A and B are shown apart, each in its own frame.
Chain A
């Protein structure tokens, strides 16, 4: 009787745990988790990319290129901020995961459909 109760308890915790983990997507897990801690919020990076690259294709292409090979020359951050925060490390995500993260990032902050 007691063993039965234990099994049910473990199963419940597993289900709850998996639901909690499933809620965080690849973007939240790999991008937002760190950016949340930064002084410059993640949306500011988006609008800087938009300001420079304009279209969805160009913005995403530039982001992926930078994340795969971050350099001072290709960064859209101002020099002062680069000096203060430095250049991020190269991404460890696979191309697929990286693309998925960028797509979510784009959908989150895109101006299309949000203007009134």
Chain B
């Protein structure tokens, strides 16, 4: 875990997408279960409240039945339906037809015993003798005020607590899910780190020895071979630099200074001259004078090297590269094989490679992105398959 943090490992977008999907699904399921439990609890509390009301409602119903009985006996003399300010009531015959009603509700569920609707309690009782033909009597009373406040408070409190616990469990689950991905990345990074250490000394030995050879004193065939060796060594050296940067970037301090970009670019083009020559790539430049940036020289060189190296590596034989420097930024355009449009958004991801016919680890543009991010530079890549790639660095 610590190593992951130190090495600033970024998850790929597809992995992030999977993790988000997992998180969303987990949260949805957790909420669904909580909602179900909350519904059951609310239902239980509501039934409890209704049961508590039942006895008093039954007494009120008996009172009303007595009045109905009296009305039934004297119906030819008196036809006024008995009313009570404590409740509303209605009577229904055996075919569930309403005989009379003072209820607020237009429809009543006569199959229920007692229920709550729109803040009112409905109590239904079947009569033993059908006074006025009434088989069912319904009593309507307002539900006790704020009976559900306590229930909602409890639901929010316990629901929040349980959701919190589920979030913590989700976090551990997520870590379990991530472990294999992280382990793979750690393994790869460790391998690169170990390899890097072993590369350093031999590369330096080869390069310094090649530089000591005076090419003029050699015959052309041998000089050609030495040049090839020099190219190969520089390629390895470049790769070594990239890997070192990748592994140790977090521990490397920045020594920002005013860097003359034209000089630096020319230096880097000169560095790749042999490589350009070997692929017969023509490079044209349009570099304006006196453009400086306050930046770590080594990091800027690394940024240019990586873009230039890609432009050479993925270029066609006898292709071309156009390099321009203006006060707005740098543009490097190549005539290479380009990148598919749907893959452009992935180019900055570490270990992403679209063309395995040439060497590399897929870390070059990731390094470009990291450096650009550090110095707030904007990197834009336009590319078309088989047309070439244009990288713009603006500031």
- B135 CB contacts on chain A under 8 angstroms: 54-55
- Near B by CB (< 8 A), chain A positions 40-83 give 43, 47, 50-59
How many chain B residues sit at the interface, stated as a range, is: 20 to 34
Residues of B within 8 A of A7 (CB): none
- Give the chain B neighbours of A47 by CB distance below 8 A: 72-73, 75
Q: State the main secondary structure of chain B at its contact with A.
A: loop
* B329: Cβ under 8 A from any A Cβ: no
Chain A facing B: main interface SS? helix
| Inter-chain contact A50/B99, CB cutoff 8 Å | no
Residues of B within 8 A of A115 (CB): 79-81, 99-100, 132
The answer, yes or no, to whether B314 is at the interface (CB within 8 Å) is no
Contact B75 A54 (CB under 8 A): no
Partner of B130, one of A54, A112, A114: A54
Q: Are A116 and B81 in contact (CB under 8 A)?
A: yes
Q: Mark A98-109, 1 if CB is under 8 A from B, else 0.
A: 000000000000
Q: Is B85 part of the binding interface, using a Cβ–Cβ cutoff of 8 Å?
A: no
Contacts of A51 in B (CB 8 A): 72, 129-131, 133
Q: How many A residues have CB within 8 A of the partner chain?
A: 17
**A115 CA to B98 CA, complexed, in Å:** 12
Q: How far is the CA of A50 from the CA of B69 in the complex (A)?
A: 12
- Do A55 and B93 touch across chains, with their CB atoms under 8 A apart? yes
A47 to B130 CA separation, bound complex (whole angstroms): 10
Selected from B72, B81, B99, B129, the residue in CB contact (under 8 A) with A112 is B99
For the complex, give the distance between the alpha carbons of A56 and B76 in Å: 18
| B134 part of interface (Cβ distance < 8 Å) | yes
User: Is A111 an interface residue when CB atoms closer than 8 A count as contact?
Assistant: yes
Determine the chain A residues whose CB is within 8 A of the CB of B94 once the complex forms.
53-55, 58
Contact A53 B130 (CB under 8 A): yes
The 5 closest A-B pairs by CB, nearest first: A54-B94, A54-B130, A55-B95, A55-B93, A55-B94
Taking Cβ atoms with an 8 Å cutoff, the residues of A that contact B are 43, 47, 50-59, 111-112, 114-116
Residues of chain B touching chain A, judged by Cβ–Cβ distance below 8 Å, are 72-73, 75-76, 79-81, 93-95, 97, 99-100, 129-135
